[in-house]
Structure 1
C-alpha cells in the first residue's frame, strides 16, 4: 500500500534550482560549534532541572507530602515542559520560517537562560533562598517553579528544530547525518555537565538530604545560576553565524513569487491573498509526517528521560545508592552516549536513517522488559549497566534523528514541521512515561513500567515501518522532499 501526503499547489514534484546559489560566508566548523554549544547550554539548563527534580525538589517544594507523592509531584512539574514544547515549536517555528533560523535561536537561548536563573533564585515551600524569605513562600514556591519550567519547555520547543536545521541546511549532500550530529551531541555534553556540576557542588557543599544541609540550602542552586554565564557564551557564538543558504534562497524565491503574484493581481484588479502561516501549511500539507515522525521517536524519548532523571531518583530513593555515585555514573554514561550519537549519525549517511533508528528501537523492545529486574538486584554494577546500555540504545537512534526530521519537510515550513514532530515525541515519550512510572513504582509495580516502555517501542517500530528512507532527499529551497512519503512500498 502506498499513500502520499497532500501536496501544495505548484509543488507537485521536485524542481531544479532556479535561483543563483547563495554565498556561504560561515564555515562548517563555525556552524557545528554554534549548534552544538548552543544546544549544550539549552539542554544543560533542561537537565539540571531533571536532576534537581529527582534529588532536591520533592523535599524542598513538596515537604508536606509523603516521599512517593512528593516524587510524583516533582516529576509532574518536570512534565510541564513537555506540554510547553509544542507551543514553543509552533511559535518559534513560525518565526524561524519567517525571519530565519539564526535570529530565532538567539531568543530560545535567552528565554531558557532567564527561566533557569529564576529557578536558582526561588525560595522553597518552607525555606528561603540566600537569606531571603527565610520561612519560605508556601504554595507560591511550586507555582512559580511550574511557571519557570513552562518557559524552559517553551524555549526548548524552538531550540532543537532550529539547531538541526542550522547544520542540515549548511551540510553538503551525503553528509547531513555527520553535520546534524553536532546539535545532537549537545545533549550528551549537557548531560555530562549537569551531572558534573551537581556532583561537584554535592561534594563541596555536603551531600546530605536534610533541608538544613549546605547542598539543600544553596549548593543545588549554583548550577542554575551558572547558566547565566553559559548563555552569554552561547549568544556570542550564535550571533557570529550567518543565516543558512537554504533559508536565504527560500526568502529570495518567495519574494520573487510574491512580486509576480501581486503584479498579476493588480492587472486583474483583484485583492492579493494573505500569506499563509507556516504552522497551518505544515498541518495542511504534511500532517502525516508530523504524526508518524513523532511516533517513531517516542520510544527514544521514553528511554532517555527514564534513563536519566527517573533512574537518578530510583537509584537514590529506592535502591539506596549514594548521590555522588549516581551522578558520577551519569557523567561516564554521557561520554558513552555521545560516542553512540556520533557513530550512528555518520553511519546513517551510508545505510540510511530508517535502518539505524529501526535497529535502536528493535533493541529497546526486549531491553526495557529486563531493566527493572536487573536494577532490583541492588548492585552498583547493575545500575551502571542499565544506565550505559539504555543511553547507548537511545544514542544509536538520536544521532540520525538530527538529519531525519529536516529531510521530511519543505524549506518554507521546515522549522515548524520538524519542531512539531520532535516535540510530539517529547510529550508521548518524555512527559507521560515518567509520571506513569512514578505511580507504578509507588505501587510496587516495576513490571508494569517495563511493559509500558516495551509497548511504546513497538508503537515506534510500526511508525518506522511506515516511513520511507529520507537520506537521499534534496532539501534545497527549490526542491520538495518528495521521497518523504510516509507509507513505505517495501520494508527495510
Structure 2
C-alpha cells in the first residue's frame, strides 16, 4: 500500500464484476443522456439562430435581436460550471448513478417546458394569445439556466461512467460510444427543423405552434433515458472507493488543492472542441442565413444532418485510434485539422454557396470537432485521480465551454452586425466577406491553444483508473 495526500490506498480486492450486459446497459444509458443533451444543444442553437429573436425579442432590429437571442444561449453556458461543481461534488461523494438521473431530469424537463412558454407578443401558436411581454424572455432565460445546470455534469458523468466500465485496452473505443448519442441528438434536432421549415414554406414558422414541437419532443428521450438509468449499476471505480473508504468529504477543496495543473490542461484541451462545436453549429448557421451572406432555406438543418452523419462514423474510429496510437497523438491530429481548416472553411462560408456550405460545415464538425470528441472521453477521465474525477472533468469541461463555446456565437453575431452596418446595409453585395476573417481567426486561436496544450500532457492510455493521483503527477507516464 502507499499514501497519497494522507489517504491510505489499500490493496483492493478483485474488481466488481462487469458483465457484457452491464457494459451494454451502461453504453445505452450514457448514449441516451448524450443524445438528449445534444438534441437540446442543437435545438437551442438552431432556435437561437432562426426563431427566438422575433418570438422573444421582437422590439429589436434583426441584428440586435440575434445578439440578444445568442445572449440567452450564452447564459446556458455561463451557468454550466456551477452545475458542474454542484453535481460533480455529488458524483464524487454519493455516486455516478444518482447524478446521472438528476441531471437528465433537470435538463430534459427544462427543455420540454420551453415548448410551452408564451411568447412576447403572442401568436396563433400561443396558449396565451395576448403575449406575456417581458416575462417571455425572462422565463426563457430561467429555463435556459436550469437546462445549463443539468448539462454542466451530464456529459462528464456519461463519459466517466463508460470509461470506468470499459475494458482497459479498449477504453478509448467504449468511452467514445456515449458520444454517438451526440450524433443521434444532433441529427434528430436538425431533421425536425428541416421538416418543419419545408412543411411550412408559406407561413413563417414563428407564427404557428410548430416551433414548440421539437422542445416538447424532449420528453420522449427523457422517459427512455430515465427507464434505462434506473436499472444501471454503480461504476466499478466508485464501488471500490466506497469499499476502501477513500471518498473525500470535500471534493472541491481536494480538487483545487491537488488538481489545478490538470484543470488548466483539461480546459486547454476542450477549447478547440467545444468552441468549434458552437461556432459551426450556431454561429455559422446564423452567418450564412444573415443579411451579410443571404443564403435562404433550411441550410443549417441540412448542414447538421450531413455533419452528424459523418461524425457518427468518425467518433468510434477516433476512439479506436486513441487505443491504437495513444490519446495525445490522436487528439492533437484532429485539433491540427481544425487549425489548418479554419480560414479556408470560413472563406467558403462567406461565398454563400449552399452546397459548399453543407460540405465545409460537415468537414469542420464531422471530422475536426467530433474527431476530438471521440478521442476525448477516455482521455479526460484518465487525466484525473479517482477521488475527484467527476468534479474535475465537469469543471474542466464547463469552464472551457464558457470561455470558448458559449461566448463565440454572441461575439460572432456582433461582428456580423458591425460588418453589415459598416458596409451600408444588407443590400450591399458581398457584405459578408469582411466578417469571416475575425471569426476564422477566433476559430484558429482556439484550435492553436488546444494543440499547444497536448504538448504538456502525458500519454494516459491504459492507466489505472483506481489511482488517486492525476496523470500529470504520475512519474511512470511518458510525456
Q: TM-score, with normalisation over the residues of structure 2?
A: 0.91
CA distance in 2, matches of 1:22, 1:326: 46
User: Would you say the 8 A contact 2:315–2:370 is kept in 1?
Assistant: yes
Matched, 1:230 2:230: no
CA distance in 2, matches of 1:463, 1:286: 16
Matched, 1:140 2:135: yes
SS across alignment from 2:298: helix
In the alignment, which residue of structure 2 is the partner of 1:277? 250
Give the alignment partner of residue 460 of structure 1, picking from 450, 464, 470. Answer: 450
Matched, 1:383 2:357: yes
User: Would you say the 8 A contact 1:109–1:231 is kept in 2?
Assistant: yes
Give the alignment partner of residue 23 of structure 1, picking from 17, 28, 34. Answer: 17
How many pairs does the alignment contain? Answer: 459
SS across alignment from 1:276: coil
In the alignment, which residue of structure 2 is the partner of 1:266? none
CA distance in 2, matches of 1:197, 1:436: 27
Give the alignment partner of residue 345 of structure 2, picking from 366, 371, 376. Answer: 371
In the alignment, which residue of structure 1 is the partner of 2:326? 352
User: Would you say the 8 A contact 1:62–1:73 is kept in 2?
Assistant: yes
SS across alignment from 2:12: coil
Matched, 1:484 2:472: yes
Tell me which moved more, 398-407 or 362-371: 362-371
User: Would you say the 8 A contact 2:4–2:469 is kept in 1?
Assistant: no
**Superimposed CA distance per residue, residues 111-169 of structure 1 (whole angstroms, 9 cap, x where no aligned partner):** 11211111111111111574432121111111111111111111010101110111101
| Superposed counterparts of 1:314-329, under 5 Å | 314-318=287-291, 319-329=293-303
Matched, 1:297 2:270: yes
Q: CA deviation at 1:381?
A: 2.2
Q: CA deviation at 1:325?
A: 3.8
In the alignment, which residue of structure 1 is the partner of 2:78? 83
Q: CA deviation at 1:207?
A: 3.8
In the alignment, which residue of structure 1 is the partner of 2:146? 151
Q: Which runs of 5+ in 2 are unaligned?
A: 420-434
User: Would you say the 8 A contact 2:118–2:126 is kept in 1?
Assistant: no
Q: Which runs of 5+ in 1 are unaligned?
A: 1-5, 259-274
In the alignment, which residue of structure 2 is the partner of 1:394? 369
Q: CA deviation at 1:487?
A: 11
**Superimposed CA distance per residue, residues 175-200 of structure 1 (whole angstroms, 9 cap, x where no aligned partner):** 11111111111111111011011112
CA distance in 2, matches of 1:336, 1:487: 38
**Superimposed CA distance per residue, residues 96-122 of structure 1 (whole angstroms, 9 cap, x where no aligned partner):** 112211111111111112111111111
**Superimposed CA distance per residue, residues 328-350 of structure 1 (whole angstroms, 9 cap, x where no aligned partner):** 23211111012111111111011
| Superposed counterparts of 1:82-231, under 5 Å | 82-128=77-123, 130-204=125-199, 206-207=200-201, 213-214=204-205, 216-231=207-222
Matched, 1:448 2:426: no
Matched, 1:308 2:281: yes
Q: CA deviation at 1:366?
A: 2.5
Tell me which moved more, 369-378 or 331-340: 369-378
Matched, 1:244 2:235: yes
In the alignment, which residue of structure 2 is the partner of 1:339? 313
Q: CA deviation at 1:482?
A: 5.2
CA distance in 1, matches of 2:474, 2:142: 37
Q: TM-score, with normalisation over the residues of structure 1?
A: 0.88
SS across alignment from 2:209: helix
In the alignment, which residue of structure 1 is the partner of 2:403? 428
User: Would you say the 8 A contact 2:172–2:320 is kept in 1?
Assistant: yes
Alpha-carbon distance change, 312 to 214 in structure 1, aligned in 2, over 3 angstroms: closer
In the alignment, which residue of structure 2 is the partner of 1:265? none
Alpha-carbon distance change, 215 to 487 in structure 1, aligned in 2, over 3 angstroms: farther
User: Would you say the 8 A contact 1:292–1:486 is kept in 2?
Assistant: no
SS across alignment from 1:191: helix
In the alignment, which residue of structure 1 is the partner of 2:430? none
In the alignment, which residue of structure 1 is the partner of 2:465? 475
In the alignment, which residue of structure 1 is the partner of 2:391? 416
Q: CA RMSD in A?
A: 2.2
SS across alignment from 2:208: helix
SS across alignment from 1:220: helix
In the alignment, which residue of structure 1 is the partner of 2:6? 9
User: Would you say the 8 A contact 1:116–1:225 is kept in 2?
Assistant: yes
CA distance in 2, matches of 1:23, 1:177: 20
SS across alignment from 2:407: helix
| Superposed counterparts of 1:248-267, under 5 Å | 248-254=239-245
SS across alignment from 1:121: coil
Q: CA deviation at 1:293?
A: 0.8
In the alignment, which residue of structure 1 is the partner of 2:66? 71
Q: CA deviation at 1:215?
A: 5.1
